[in-house]
Amino acid sequence: MKQVRKAIIPAAGLGTRFLPATKALAKEMLPIIDKPTIQFIVEEARQSGIEDIIVVDGKNKRSIEDHFDSNPELEENLRSKNKNEMLKLVEETTDINVYFIRQSHPRGLGDAVLTARAFVGNEPFVVMLGDDLNNIKGNGKPLTKELIDDYQETGASTLAVMRVPHEDTAKYGVIDPSEQVKPGLYNVLSFVEKPDPKDAPSDLAIIGRYVFTPEIFDILENTQPGKGNEVQLTDAINTLNHLQRVFAHEYKGERYDTGNKFGWLKTNIEYGLDHPQIKDQLREYLIELTKKL
């Protein structure tokens, strides 16, 4: 079995739900307290054994490239002032190989993944969405590692799903599950992009982590734009499922969707309640605040 060594992080979306903040700034750079969202994703990749990451970026994404580049002037300044803890935080951002490629037009998630084809070549790889966090507090196995472990057993493409409230199915790709090959690992009959709740085949929604065999690329090449006139990754997965097995892995941990305002705010509060520098202050503040609500 080939090792899963490479990850694609698509981060070329327009982030319209976060305008005007995302007019000049990538939504993946919005911080959770003090760390850009995308840095959590890169750390998850590293903890899952990934060696090389490619970020698919678009216009206004220069800040992502700068974030993972060294900043000699800043580092020298911190060093001369003996701000060693801060220096360490800055240096850590360049600890992993991160490469960049530009998606010239935001033609959809499927198209973004296809843009990174030459980087991946003929190997299995993971896709990690840049605004979708799990296990942020660092306890337990990252979801990407769970998927890679499944791939090592089955050799099949596997994507993460999670139960969502039935009325929310129109926000996600949703699976029509058949039998479980082991607890929490489903064979899938079909994958449906953003179904209306009345048509949704289940409440198991695709969340932002996938392991793919390289055959997905040929399929993406031939996938016509679908919902929203975008090349939908879900449509390509559905086609792949007719050619080879694709499994869905049910994730039971915490997930944080930082791509919308309320999700981002909730993530900041939950992470803040765990953050060594501000947790006590934040807890006190929230208790006082709720008395006034």
DSSP E strands: which ranges in the chain? 6-11, 31-32, 35-36, 52-57, 97-102, 125-128, 132-134, 157-163, 173-182, 185-193, 204-212, 246-250, 255-257
Instruction: Count CA atoms within 13 Å of residue 80 on its CB side.
Output: 6
Q: How many residues bind ligand UTP (CB under 6 A)?
A: 20
**Least Cβ distance, residue 39 to ligand UTP (angstroms):** 15
- Indicate the DSSP class of residue 262: H
Does residue 226 touch ligand UTP according to CB under 6 A?
Answer: no
Structure tokens at 38: 């995308």
Does residue 110 touch ligand UTP according to CB under 6 A?
Answer: no
194: left (phi over 0), alpha (psi -120 to 50) or beta: left
Question: What does the alpha-carbon distance between residue 50 and residue 64 come to, in Å, rounded to a whole number?
Answer: 19
Structure tokens at 55: 């970020």
Among 109, 143, 216, 246, binds ligand UTP (CB under 6 A): 109
**Least Cβ distance, residue 201 to ligand UTP (angstroms):** 21
Among 7, 12, 41, 53, binds ligand UTP (CB under 6 A): 12
Among 8, 112, 219, 237, binds ligand UTP (CB under 6 A): 112
**Least Cβ distance, residue 116 to ligand UTP (angstroms):** 10
Among 6, 32, 48, 131, binds ligand UTP (CB under 6 A): 131
Residue 13 or 177: which CB sits closer to ligand UTP?
Answer: 13
| Residue with token string 């003090």 | 34
Segment contacting ligand UTP by CB under 6 A, of 4-12, 35-43, 78-86, 141-149:
4-12
Residue 185 or 234: which CB sits closer to ligand UTP?
Answer: 234
**Least Cβ distance, residue 36 to ligand UTP (angstroms):** 13
Residues 29-58 that bind ligand UTP (CB under 6 A): 56
Among 4, 7, 8, 11, binds ligand UTP (CB under 6 A): 11
What's CA 173's distance to the chain center, in Å? 14
Question: What does the alpha-carbon distance between residue 153 and residue 148 come to, in Å, rounded to a whole number?
Answer: 9
Nearest CA among 126, 102, 114 for reference residue 225: 114
- Judged by the rule CB under 6 A, the positions of this chain that interact with ligand UTP are 10-17, 56, 103, 106-109, 111-112, 129-131, 259
